[in-house]
Structure 1
Amino acid sequence: MATLYVILLTLHNINRWLVLLAGVWALFRGFSGIRSGRAFVVADRRPVVAFVSTVSLQLVLGLLLFGLLGAQNIPVFAGARPSFQWEHLGLGVLAAVFATLASALSKRADGNPAKFRAMTTWTVLSLVVALAGIPWWRPLLRFFTQ
């Protein structure tokens, strides 16, 4: 059980950085598309799809960790205020919802400016929520350690 916990925690930690990188990439494409007024092309879909994919994976890994620790009655964030584990979970779900909206609404919007605005707005909201939910007092990188 401890080995599975360490593996999931490591993957969850590493994927956090992929989420942030994909989010910055999506914002770069979104803001540059808004500023330039260019057409929304396949290359503009890639970063938002990468972002929603990494956020979704992060949520799944987090839920697996949450369930694993909950089944063992182990506090998820030892030393943190008691409500943080639920805040972390809720913010993770909300970030995933916002990232999904960034992808879905940018795909369905009418016109190039609307596509870029939807992508950028919902990505910003998702990243703000995700950044608020990161336990910054924990190690920034961990590789197969608790």
Structure 2
Amino acid sequence: MMYDVLLFTHSWLRWVVLILALINIYKSFVGNKGSIPYGKGEKGLAGAFVGCLHLTFVLGLILYFISPFAYQAFGGSESVMKNATLRFWAVEHAFVMILAIAAASIGKAKAKRAESDPEKFKAQLIFFSIALVLMLSRIPWGETGRLFRF
């Protein structure tokens, strides 16, 4: 029961994260051109994006240790690296998502330290885009049942 609730929340929070990433990247692209100032709204959007990423990570970390995939990967007799499904969930998905969170966090920190508004937007544009590409690369797009859990 707890596993199902966590999995549902983790899966749907992904869409919030992706939407926030796209909004931040768009605003950063526009702001990098000097069109808008970097204000409280932009800082709040960046914080919401990184905060939702961290929340998704915590939920994913809990799922990592209570999921059937974790049992199969670490307690089963089959090698994780020889099984594509186990490798995806136990290694690839987790590792790449951690890299994405690191990229987004670095972008937010660099934006905070930047002196000018265009520099703030440029840092976010670069690092949030890297984070988005990493996230998109490790979402199980081919498994539609995993994309929209009801």
- TM tier, smaller: 0.7 to 0.9
TM-score normalised by L of structure 2: 0.84
Equivalent position SS for 2:67: helix
Aligned equivalents of 2:55 and 2:110: distance in 1? 20
CA offset at residue 25 of structure 1?
1.1
**Of 136, 140, 149, the match for 1:131:** 136
**Of 130, 137, 148, the match for 1:141:** 148
Q: CA 1:80–1:136 in 2, change beyond 3 Å: closer, same or farther?
A: farther
TM-score normalised by L of structure 1: 0.86
Equivalent position SS for 1:81: helix
Give the equivalent residue in structure 2 for 1:107: 112
Give the equivalent residue in structure 1 for 2:59: 61
Once structures 1 and 2 are overlaid, which stretch shifts more, 96-105 or 29-38?
Answer: 29-38
**Of 29, 34, 38, the match for 2:36:** 38
Give the equivalent residue in structure 2 for 1:24: 22
Tell me the amino acid that sits aligned with residue 51 of structure 1. F
Q: CA 1:71–1:131 in 2, change beyond 3 Å: closer, same or farther?
A: closer
The answer to whether the Cα contact below 8 Å between 1:26 and 1:47 also exists between their aligned partners in 2 is yes
Higher helix share: 2
CA offset at residue 123 of structure 1?
0.4
The answer to whether the Cα contact below 8 Å between 1:48 and 1:102 also exists between their aligned partners in 2 is no
Aligned equivalents of 1:72 and 1:37: distance in 2? 48
The answer to whether the Cα contact below 8 Å between 1:22 and 1:50 also exists between their aligned partners in 2 is yes
- Number of aligned residues: 139
CA offset at residue 38 of structure 1?
3.4
What are the superposed Cα offsets for residues 92-127 of structure 1, whole Å, 9 maximum, x if unpaired?
Answer: 111111111121111111211111100111100000
Once structures 1 and 2 are overlaid, which stretch shifts more, 126-135 or 79-88?
Answer: 79-88
**Percent sequence identity over matched residues?**
31
Q: CA 1:72–1:123 in 2, change beyond 3 Å: closer, same or farther?
A: closer
Give the equivalent residue in structure 2 for 1:90: 95
**Of 79, 85, 88, the match for 1:81:** 85
Tell me the amino acid that sits aligned with residue 141 of structure 1. F
What are the superposed Cα offsets for residues 24-71 of structure 1, whole Å, 9 maximum, x if unpaired?
Answer: 111121011112343311111121111101111111111100011269
Say what the alpha-carbon RMSD is for the aligned residues.
2.0
**Segments of 4+ in structure 1 off by > 4 A?**
none
| Structure 1: runs of 5 or more not aligned | none
| Structure 2: runs of 5 or more not aligned | 75-82
